[in-house]
Amino acid sequence: MNNREKYEAVIGLEVHAQLKTASKLFCGCSTRFGDEPNANTCPVCLGLPGALPVLNRNAVLMAAKAALALGCQINPVSLFARKNYFYPDLPKGYQISQYDRPFAEHGVVQIDTAERDAHGRPLQWQQKTIRLTRLHLEEDAGKSIHDGSGGLSEGASYVDLNRAGTPLIEIVSEPDFRSSWQAYDYVQYLRQTLQYVDVCDGNMEQGDLRCDANVSVRLKGSDQLGTKVEIKNLNSFRFLQRALDYEIERQIAVLESGGQLSQETRLWNERENKTVSMRSKEYAHDYRYFPEPDLPPLVVHPEWVARLKAELPELPGARRRRFVRAYGLSFDDATTLTATRPLADYYEAVVKQGIQPQTAANWIISELTFLLKSAEQEITQCRIKPEELAALIKLIERGAISGKMGKTVLQQMFNTGQPAEQIIEAQGLKQVSDPDRLQPIIESVLAAHAREVEAFRAGKEQLFGFFVGQVMKATKGQANPQLVNELLRRLLHGDGE
């Protein structure tokens, strides 16, 4: 056993997810992304003296859906608390969060996870249980802009408070991950689950999901936790995975060289591909939490919770397994098709039209996904309705058009929004499946190639493909290939009359 193999990593994650409410957590200002800086502000989110917060009911509803989808228990009473620190983008000088009585606790989720090979391809998928310590509600801070871009003066800093006061949930996990890929797969799972219950857009680039990772290493078999390092602001899946791997190796190297780790906060430097120290424990924040005096305790009725729980949609993991079971799909196909709820709904709507499940999967995964990708569209924007895709597949199965032609028709359906039948009609693409129409065409092809016919009849059987090609050419690819085969065989073997 080499020295690297003696250690195991221990990772716990703190994920902030922005709830997709129309207005902020404690005021009526809009949460719209990309508006004119400071357009969406009022005395409450500007932190003006005397302004009072009022809790957004919809944010509580969304937090509850998230908590239930993540297997948490919602506390009947939770408390808001002030987390005090100074920063220019935090006008009140404190953030309203939750502390010792959070909204929900004791969550459990089952994730699918796999280590990856050198090319990032999953090895063996396995299920792993992850415990969630807590899920609480809090408000976001504003944004500081330091780069002088977009017409701002060089060297100056600006503050945009549009984001100040938008609702977040913070989801804290137990230190249950043992590798960077487990952490990666968990955040994917969170994102997908929050999207399924429709409470978070999950757009990493817009900051809808932000992740802080806590990492330590220890000797395998130990039940003690090592000194942890926190890596802040990991705003992409790739950064999360890379930063963790880097940090795990760094910590092992420190221990192996006889050094000691110190508790600190580090940042991921994406240009240099390494973590760098930001602050050590001595400079750790003391937030001086205390109960928020302007908000009453948040009381949640058990009947309300029970009703919400009953109304939860089928969640991604369950849906994936059902797709494997009910439709006979591979795990990979089921994973692809359940990536988002609208895509999974689309697939099931096609199957419901009587299309064989694997056929429907193939058309969606290869053909439709390709078209969507190249047009940078989501399935929800797709002009081809599931019934129309099903109709196209049926036309192919009935032999009205060839499979190859079908792909061209699909592309045109995608571009124009017209149904398959209409496109085929308008462009005269219908497959020729009428023997009375095909026979004269084949006869004239054979007449034009008398020498090849002679050679074929003398035993040069490989010429058959040549004849098929000539007939397809003569019919602009519209001849029904199976019928061409039949007729050709008959005519060539001289029993055509």
- Could you tell me the smallest distance in angstroms from the CB atom of residue 32 to Zn ion? 13
What residue type is 141 in one-letter code?
Answer: A
Instruction: Scan residues 37-56 and list those touching Zn ion (CB under 5 A).
Output: 42, 44-45
Pick between residue 13 and residue 27 the one whose CB is nearest to Zn ion: 27
For the bound state, the minimum distance from the C-beta of residue 80 to ligand ADP, rounded and expressed in Å, comes to 18
Query: Is 59 one of the binding residues for Zn ion (CB under 5 A)?
Result: no
Tokens of 16: 């902030």
Using rule CB under 6 A, residue 173 touches ligand ADP: yes
Q: CB 269 → ligand ADP: shortest distance, Å?
A: 21
Using CB under 6 A as the binding rule, the residues of this chain from 284 to 323 that contact ligand ADP are none
State the nearest-atom distance from the C-beta of 297 to Zn ion, in Å: 23
- Sheet containing strand 7-18, edge to edge, reads 73-74, 104-113, 126-139, 167-173, 7-18, 209-219, 229-234, 264-269, 274-280
Question: How far is the C-alpha of 290 from the C-alpha of 96, rounded, in Å?
Answer: 10
Does residue 265 belong to the site contacting ligand ADP (CB under 6 A)? no
The region of 77-85, 213-221, 312-320, 363-371 touching ligand ADP under the rule CB under 6 A is 213-221
User: Could you say which of Zn ion, ligand ADP, none residue 214 binds, taking C-beta under 5 to 8 angstroms by partner kind?
Assistant: ligand ADP
459: left (phi over 0), alpha (psi -120 to 50) or beta: left
Torsions phi, psi for 102 (to 5 deg): -75, 170
Q: Which is nearer to ligand ADP, 231 or 487 (CB)?
A: 231
Cβ 216 vs Cβ 228: under 8 Å: yes
Site for ligand ADP in 228-247 (CB under 6 A): 228
Name which of 167 and 226 has its Cβ closer to ligand ADP.
226
Q: Using the rule CB under 5 A, is 25 a contact of Zn ion?
A: no
* Strand boundaries in 393-488, DSSP class E: none
Figure out which of the listed residues 9, 13, 29, 329 binds Zn ion, where binding follows CB under 5 A.
29
- CB closer to Zn ion out of 38 and 412: 38
Q: Rounded to a whole number, what is the distance in angstroms from the first to the last CA of the chain? A: 79
214 lines the binding site for ligand ADP (CB under 6 A): yes
Q: Pick the binder of ligand ADP from 7, 13, 68, 70 (CB under 6 A).
A: 13
For 221, half-sphere exposure in the C-beta direction (CA atoms, 13 angstrom radius) is 2
100 in helix, strand or coil?
Answer: coil
Q: Contact at 8 Å (CB) between 392 and 422?
A: no
Asked if 80 and 292 touch (Cβ cutoff 8 Å), the reply is: yes
Which of residues 248 and 389 has its CB atom nearest to ligand ADP in the complex?
A: 248
Q: Pattern of binders to ligand ADP over 120-159, x per CB under 6 A? A: ----------------------------------------
- E-strand ranges in 225-263 read 229-234
Binding partner of residue 12 among ligand ADP, Zn ion, none, CB under 5 to 8 Å per kind?
Answer: ligand ADP
For the beta carbon of residue 17, count every other beta carbon within 10 angstroms: 25
C-alpha pair distances (Å), 428 with each of 230, 408, 414, 442: 65, 13, 19, 20
C-alpha–C-alpha distance, residues 166 and 164, integer Å:
6
Residue 48 φ then ψ, to 5°: -70, 145
Examine residue 107 and tell whether it contacts ligand ADP (CB under 6 A): no
Query: From CA 497, how far away is CA 487, in angstroms rounded?
Result: 11
Residues 66-85 that bind ligand ADP (CB under 6 A): none
* Site stretch for Zn ion (CB under 5 A), options 27-35, 245-253, 282-290, 449-457: 27-35
Of the candidate residues 39, 108, 225, 448, the single one contacting ligand ADP (CB under 6 A): 225
Distance, in Å, from the CA atom of 99 to the CA atom of 445, rounded to the nearest integer, reads 84
The least distance separating ligand ADP from the CB of residue 111, rounded to whole angstroms, comes to 15
Which residues contribute to the site for Zn ion (CB under 5 A)? 27, 29, 42, 44-45
Which residues contribute to the site for ligand ADP (CB under 6 A)? 10-14, 172-175, 214-216, 225-226, 228
